[in-house]
Structure 1
Amino acid sequence: MLLSDAATAYTTHLAEVRRLSPATVRAYRADLADLAMVLGDPELDEVDLEALREWLWVSTQRGLARSTIARRTACARGMFAWLVEEDLASADPSLRLVAPKRGRTLPKVAAADTLGRLLDDVRTVADEGDPLALRDAALLELLYAAGLRVSEACGIDIDDLDPAARTVRVVGKGSKERVVPYGTPAALALDAWLVRGRPALTTADAANVAGGALFVGARGGRLGTRAAYDIVSRHVAPAVGEEHVGPHALRHSAATHLLDGGADLRTVQELLGHASLGTTQIYTHVSAEKLQAAYRLAHPRA
C-alpha cells in the first residue's frame, strides 16, 4: 500500500468512524499529504523512523510553529498505530518519534469595558438598518455572549435558538451538542437581525440556499467560517491590539471575563464545551497575569 492510500484510509476512518470535526480531519489530511509529498509517496514498508524525522525537519525549516510540528507528530503516530491495529502495516516506525514541547501561548483577550464599548458601537451602526450591519452585530454579540467557536456559530439554525429561555443549541467538536445561554444584548441583536436583517438577504431564491441558517452571507447562503473570521477581525482587532484577530478572541475574552467575574472553572468548561478541564485552565493563567500586573502597579512594596 502506498503512503498516500494509507493516509486516505486513515482520514476516512477519522471522519466516518471517530467522527472528528471537519477542521481536524482537514488538518490531518493536509499533514499526511505533505508527508507523502516530502517522502515521494513510498510503500508503507519503506517508511522508517529516519524518514519521519526528515519530514519533521523539513517542516521546521519551513518555519512552521512548534504546535504545528507537534500536531504532525501526533498525526503520524496516530496513523501508523491504526494501520498496525488494522493489519495494514507490519510495523510502526513512529513509536520513537518525539514531538517538540509546545510553548504555551496565552490567548489574546480584550478588556471587558473596551469590548463592551466596541459592541455598543457596532449595535449603534446596525440600528440604522443595514442588513449586513445587523448580522455583524448579532454574530459578534452571540460569539462573545455564549463563548462559541466560529464553526459552532456558523452551524446554528434558527430552530436552535430558544428566545424565551435565551439559550442556543450548538454542535461542537466530536459532534457533541450543548445548550448555552446568552444575555440581553445578544437577544436584542438577534431579534433585530431576524426581523429586519435576515429577510432582506434571503430572497425567494436565496432562501433555498440558506435553508434554516441563522447567519447568512450577502448572497443569502449560510455564512462561512472564513467570512465570519473577517467580520470579527474587522471589528475586534482594535480592542485586542492586534492587526488580525479571529473569532477565538471573543471566546477567549468571554471565558476570561467569566472567571474574573467569579464563575467557577467547571461552569466555564461546560459553557465552552471543553472535554478536559485542563484546557479550560489556561484562562486562569490569563487572570493570574492580570492580577500580577495590577499588584505590581498598585502595591507599594511590589
Structure 2
Amino acid sequence: MLFDKSVEAFDTYLKANRGLSENTRKAYRGDVEECLLALERLRCRDLNEVTIEDLRMWMAESSKNHAKSSMARKTVAVRGFFAWTHEHGVTTTDPACALMTPKIPDTLPDVLSESQAEQLMERVDEDGETSQPKERTMKQQAIELRDAAMLELLYATGMRVAELVGLDVPDVVFSNRTVKVTGKGNKQRVMPFGAPAQKAIRRWLDDGRPLLVGEQSAAALFLGRQGKRIDQRMVRRVVHECARDAGVPDISPHALRHSAATHMLDGGADLREVQELLGHSSLKTTQRYTHVSIEQLKARYGQAFPRA
C-alpha cells in the first residue's frame, strides 16, 4: 500500500503513547488501512491531497457494508490517524477534523432476569458436582469443574471474557475473596467475588486443573483440553452451552456481564461502585444498566398493577 510507512508509524505511536490493547490497535490499523486503500482508488497519491469530501465518500461507501457501531469506530480511527499526521508534520492540515461520527442507536443490552441467572448458576453447580454418579472420564470431570468455575466467576464479578482468559493462578486471593484483573489499556483493578465462586474455583484448582495443566500454561488459571491457556472462543462456547442446558435464554459472556451489573444495581449498589468494579472509563457506560432496570420495573408494573 502507498501509505504503509505512515500507518506503521501511527501504530507505533498508539502502542507507545496511548496504551491501547493489541486487539484495539489491530482494529484501528485495519480501519485506517481500509480508508487509505479507498483513497488510493480515488487517485490520492499524497496524504496532503486528501479532503473532507474524499473521506465522506469513503464513509458513504463503507457504510453500505458495516453497522453504525463499526462505522463509529472506523471514524474515530481515521480521525486519530489524520490528527497524528498533522501533529507530526506528515500533513500540513487535518482533513478529518470535521468528520462526524455516525450516531449509534441507544439500544439496551440483553440481560437475564435474576431468577434466570439463579437457574443458570444452579445448573452450573450441578454439573460441577463430581460426586454425582455419571459415567465420564477424569478429563471430562475436570472440564465440568472448569466450566463451573468460569461461569461463577463471570457472573460474580461481571468481568470481560478477555479479562477472564488472561487470569493467572496468583491473581486469585482466597483470604479476602478477590481477583486481580488486567482490563483495557492494561489497567488493573481488584474485584471481589462471593462464596459460590470461591467454592467453584477451589474445586477447579484442587480437583480439575491438575489433570489438564501443561508446561506451557503453568501460570494460567483456566485451561483448555490440551493444557494451554483457554481462549475467548471456547469461553463463549461454554457460556452458550450452559445457557442451553439450563433452559434460559441464549446469552454471551458479555450478556452475563450486563446481567451482573444490572442485578448489582437492582440490589442497591452505588453507580460509581459498579463503574469501578466493571472497569468502565465513563460513568455514561455504566448508566446504561440503570435504563435496563427501569425497563424491567416498567414490565413488572404492567404485569402486576391493575391500572397499568
Q: Calculate the TM-score normalised by the size of structure 1.
A: 0.92
Specify the SS of the correspondent of 1:78: helix
Structure 1: gaps of 5 or more residues: none
Asked if 1:200 is matched to 2:208, the reply is: no
1:56-67 to structure 2, matched below 5 A, reads: 56-62=59-65, 64-67=66-69
Count of equivalent residues: 295
- Counterpart position of 1:283: 289
- Counterpart position of 1:99: 101
- Which residue type is aligned with residue 125 of structure 1? D
Q: Is the 2:274–2:286 contact (alpha carbons within 8 Å) kept by the matching residues of 1?
A: yes
State the superposition RMSD in angstroms: 1.8
1:149-160 to structure 2, matched below 5 A, reads: 149-160=160-171
1:117-266 to structure 2, matched below 5 A, reads: 117-128=119-130, 130-202=141-213, 206=214, 208-236=215-243, 241-242=249-250, 245-266=251-272
- Counterpart position of 2:134: none
Question: Residues 258-289 of structure 1: CA distance to partner in whole angstroms, max 9, x if unpaired?
Answer: 01111111111111011111110000000000
Question: Residues 31-64 of structure 1: CA distance to partner in whole angstroms, max 9, x if unpaired?
Answer: 11222332337431232222211221122111x1
- Name the % identity: 46
Q: Calculate the TM-score normalised by the size of structure 2.
A: 0.91
Where does structure 1 differ by over 6 angstroms across 4 or more consecutive aligned residues?
none
Specify the SS of the correspondent of 2:150: helix
- Counterpart position of 1:73: 75
- Structure 1 residue 104 displacement after superposition: 1.1
Structure 2: gaps of 5 or more residues: 131-137
Give the Cα–Cα distance (whole angstroms) in 1 for the partners of residues 217 and 116 of structure 2: 34
- Structure 1 residue 240 displacement after superposition: 5.8
Specify the SS of the correspondent of 2:189: strand
Q: Is the 1:108–1:240 contact (alpha carbons within 8 Å) kept by the matching residues of 2?
A: no
Larger displacement relative to structure 2 (217-226 or 284-293): 217-226
Question: Residues 95-138 of structure 1: CA distance to partner in whole angstroms, max 9, x if unpaired?
Answer: 22112111112111011121112122122122236111111111
Q: Is the 2:32–2:81 contact (alpha carbons within 8 Å) kept by the matching residues of 1?
A: no
Specify the SS of the correspondent of 2:63: helix
Question: Residues 138-173 of structure 1: CA distance to partner in whole angstroms, max 9, x if unpaired?
Answer: 111101101101111111110011011110001111
